[in-house]
Amino acid sequence: MFRRERSAKILRCVALVVGGFLSFLPAFAGEYGTDAELAGAGARAIAMGTSFIGLADDASAVEFNPAGLLILERPEIAAQVRYTWEKHEEFLPLSSLGQATPQKGTFREQYFTPSFFSVVIPYERFALGLSEMTIINTHKQMRDSIQHPILGRQEFSWDHNVTAQQYGLTMAYLVTPSLYAGTTLKMARLHLNRSLGGGIGSREETERLTGYGANFGMLYRPLRWMSLGLVYKTAMSMDMTSNLGFRPVKLDLTIPDTLGCGVAVFPNDRLRLAADVDTVHWSRFKDEDVNWLQRDDVLRLHCGAEYLLAMNAEKQRAWFVRAGYMWEESNSIYANSKATAYERLKAPKEDPINHVTFGFGMALRRFQADIGVDLSRDQTDLIFSTVLYF
């Protein structure tokens, strides 16, 4: 009995040490930027490859480019929900013990998110907006096991759930008849839950953190058939100390800053074309103490189109089709040239990600409904949004 209890304690210590290292590997790279996708607002924009900085002509502009609220001619209320199917590959620390190469497992998740809500009121040279948006929603689970000579096979699990709601106050101003400016003041509330569990015990921690930031946007419409947009989103940082691993680890969970620009053209009354380019500054999260891990800035290219498919004779009902494409470099932390061969196998640099998007929309005089689909290598999103006009 004494030997069995001692073995259980040893096994639990091993699991906690290895699991703590796994759960907080990015923390040893210093400031830990969330590796979740930054969510977009509006099924219409997402169906166009999220190329919306230069277009920004509906209520989702509070996120993409706040200056675009000046385009709106009447008050709007917008809401969105998202359903996500995700696949992720994780390093298995227990299965890798004693192995010449790291062992990895593939895990699949799916979850539902009420992801966006906004109210926008335009008034002559000004526009005001209030919004709530789920900017991060990631649920990652991992299962691993180890064979113990006395206890037999022991199963362990690591769960990592991060959600963040962003609350925004947007103000837009008409600088000249062709130049608009806007700002969204943001407060983010992040909920972090991590747990390590197994047949011989479990540990869990939950934190609620707060961060502040802003979006600054400009929109220039020099011609009736073209508009140009520029937006800068500041970083938001939230500090905490984690005690889930084998020693306390200070974490700086940071949503990085983003700089982007876009152009939209309107060749005729039926067709709209848009293209954006932006960069997310992940490379600022470094630590001199662990120099074999690094993260690069992420470049993203977006393009999309919207086509008015049909409209009834009274112009009270219209149907739209949309399609788009986005290419983005991976934001993952990876082992650089200073790492050992084993570390490079454990944390390889991931390939760029291609997104193919499409969607449909129906607009009435006071109501619009849109559906968007985003297909990528490891994730599929189905988005539904509605807009009410007053």
* pLDDT tens over the chain, length 390 residues: 545 555 555 555 555 544 444 444 443 333 344 444 455 678 999 999 999 999 999 888 988 999 999 999 899 999 999 999 988 788 888 788 778 888 888 888 888 888 899 999 998 899 999 999 988 888 778 888 877 677 677 788 888 788 889 999 999 999 999 999 999 999 999 888 878 776 556 677 788 888 899 999 999 999 989 999 999 999 888 776 666 555 566 666 778 899 999 999 999 989 999 999 999 988 766 555 567 778 888 999 999 999 999 888 677 789 999 999 999 998 888 888 888 887 788 788 888 999 999 999 999 989 999 999 999 988 899 999 999 998
Which two tokens mark 65?
A: 């480019």
Buried b (16+ CB within 10 A) or exposed e, 163-198: bbbbebbbebebeeeebbbbbbebebebebebbbbb
Count Cα atoms within 13 angstroms, Cβ side, for 212.
Answer: 2
pLDDT at 153: 77
Nearest 5°: CA angle at 45, between 176 and 66? Answer: 30
* pTM score: 0.85
């993203």: which residue's tokens?
A: 300
CATH at residue 366:
2.40.160.60
Host domain of residue 204: 2-389
Model confidence over 221-270: pLDDT tens digits?
999 899 999 999 998 887 766 665 555 666 667 788 999 999 999 999 89
Q: Which amino acid is at 122?
A: P
Model confidence over 297-312: pLDDT tens digits?
899 999 999 999 988 8
Looking at the 3D structure of the chain, how many domains does it have? 1
Give the 3-state DSSP-derived string for the chain, with helices as H, strands as E and coil as C.
CHHHHHHHHHHHHHHHHHHHHHHCCHHHHCCEECCCCCCCCCHHHHHCCCCCCCCCCCCCHHHHCHHHHHHCCCCEEEEEEEEEEEEEEEEECCCCCCCCCCEEEEEEEEEEEEEEEEEEEEECCEEEEEEEEEEEEEEEEEEEEEEECCCEEEEEEEEEEEEEEEEEEEEEEEEECCEEEEEEEEEEEEEEEEEEEECCEEEEEEEEEEEEEEEEEEEEEEECCEEEEEEEECCEEEEEEECCCCCCEEEEEEECCEEEEEEEECCCCCEEEEEEEEEECHHHCCCCCCCCEECCCEEEEEEEEEEEEEECCCCCEEEEEEEEEEEECCCCCEECCCCCHHHHHHCCCCCCEEEEEEEEEEEECCEEEEEEEEECCCEEEEEEEEEEEC
* CA–CA gap between residue 81 and residue 77 (Å, rounded): 14
